[in-house]
Structure 1
């Protein structure tokens, strides 16, 4: 892995080394799902547009809503995470007890298991993250065929401990998070997810300060919500040359999501001259990020495993 000395990730225990010779199945190909050019999977009667995609352990619903539209009403066996991307994003939601909750972005919400609804009270993007064992929703994903068989290098989801005080609606506003150069982004976790709601940046990334790295056994979903990026992804070469894959250097717009499989080496380069904004999503939570003091901003509510 390669990080600059002032990158907080350079202190991670996993910040050195290279992908080992892989065994136990082929390395999956990256998936580049650019909603700026793909038509929506769902258009509601009130005019909201929704794209439904998935990874091995999660389902993502990306909604460009019409104000006042009921964009979600369903019952889940597990928590869901809702991202309100910017100041235009706002919702009125209900939980299993029928209690009404209001929130405005940018924010991360956790909705407890059971019956819930979301009505958009604004026009900004709304992103929902569900566990992929919610089979009805996993089957609706536009890329469901890519997971007809589990990807062998992705570890199955193991839920982390239950939240302190039990399941309930939780809201985390990004305006409450002070900047800290010693912390990497704005990281929140639940039992099944870790989200780095990184702040927007201005202008292109310095090409001399890239950060190629890899993950042993978990996917990364890189959600671009503003600007333009190039995702650089390299599949490690094993001894079987018939399975070698050319490097990917794929330009994506916004919104888009790129599914980065393990153990590919990857880094993302913002190239837009205006605002660029990327949010990283993992399922389950990352142990290395969780081990860094102060990095996970809601660690007091969602504890890490003790063994």
Structure 2
């Protein structure tokens, strides 16, 4: 699946169990082609897209316009992602105090009343697991999950963070890229976020990495450049479930929801900078089992069944 120099080549192989359950459809969303799901009085525009276990909120935030989550609906922690350098977001929490995230990285915001305020106009992303029930109906693809897809594993949250709830900030700049690991991976009890290293120019079409996941859904968020997502749905015994191959070109910002066990790979096309952020819910056990890959594993422990920490 991977070239010998790709760190993922050391991952254990998997084989999707034989099943005649239907495979969920690949979904792609070029956000600029969609009307925002909501716009604040100050003008911050938010698009909501979901997977089976999570809701992604992509916001073009107006400077000084707080994005508030009240305790009445926010019963679990959520994740703030800053996809670009050059911006700062202040995080205020009624119980956990104040912190800030500057430049690319993530912050984990505890349950309870909180607000996020951008110092300047910028794009930010929030990730809410599906236990946060007030946002799912706002998603552009809400109807795709009227019933759970049987091939996708349900969310079983991993252990709570060491030391209890607090605002936790992880900046990409504090975790330099290393050839010994894949990307910059951060974990919570419900999410895994992997920042790919920005690339310049198109990907070599003779060095792709088609692969599949047995039972977890992948969300690929395009934050710079343009990508083509190549997706092949495996055949089942039921001809009615077969689908043609997909070659979906998605610019930035864009969201691709890749269901298991489809064979897939992504190819950057065109000049300039390209970057993907991959999101998984629940966290991936295979990445978590690789020592050193998860940069905050000391704060978010893996279950006993997952080795490597």
TM range (shorter): over 0.9
Match of 2:6 in 1: 7
Match of 1:53 in 2: 49
Deviation of 1:22 (Å)? 2.2
Match of 1:22 among 10, 16, 19: 19
Q: If the length of structure 2 is used for normalisation, what is the TM-score?
A: 0.95
User: In the TM superposition, what are the counterparts of 1:239-278 in structure 2 within 5 Å?
Assistant: 239-278=237-276
Match of 1:65 among 43, 47, 61: 61
Match of 2:132 in 1: 134
Structure 1 stretches of 4+ moved >6 Å: none
Contact 2:202–2:270 (Cα < 8 Å) also in 1: yes
Contact 1:88–1:123 (Cα < 8 Å) also in 2: no
Contact 2:76–2:111 (Cα < 8 Å) also in 1: yes
Match of 1:282 in 2: 280
User: In the TM superposition, what are the counterparts of 1:71-150 in structure 2 within 5 Å?
Assistant: 71-75=67-71, 76-97=74-95, 99-150=97-148
Secondary structure of the equivalent of 2:122? coil
Query: Any stretches of 5+ residues in structure 1 without a counterpart?
Result: none
Query: Any stretches of 5+ residues in structure 2 without a counterpart?
Result: none
Deviation of 1:43 (Å)? 1.6
Contact 2:231–2:246 (Cα < 8 Å) also in 1: yes
Deviation of 1:122 (Å)? 2.1
Q: If the length of structure 1 is used for normalisation, what is the TM-score?
A: 0.96
Secondary structure of the equivalent of 1:150? coil
Q: How far apart, CA to CA, are the structure 1 residues paired with 2:70 and 2:269? A: 38
User: In the TM superposition, what are the counterparts of 1:214-229 in structure 2 within 5 Å?
Assistant: 214-229=212-227
Contact 2:100–2:169 (Cα < 8 Å) also in 1: no
Deviation of 1:20 (Å)? 4.2
Deviation of 1:123 (Å)? 1.9
Contact 1:87–1:124 (Cα < 8 Å) also in 2: no
Deviation of 1:102 (Å)? 2.0
Query: Which range moves more in the overlay, 295-304 or 97-106?
Result: 97-106
Deviation of 1:82 (Å)? 0.5
Cα RMSD after superposing both structures: 1.2
The alignment of Structure 1 onto Structure 2 pairs a total of residues equal to: 303
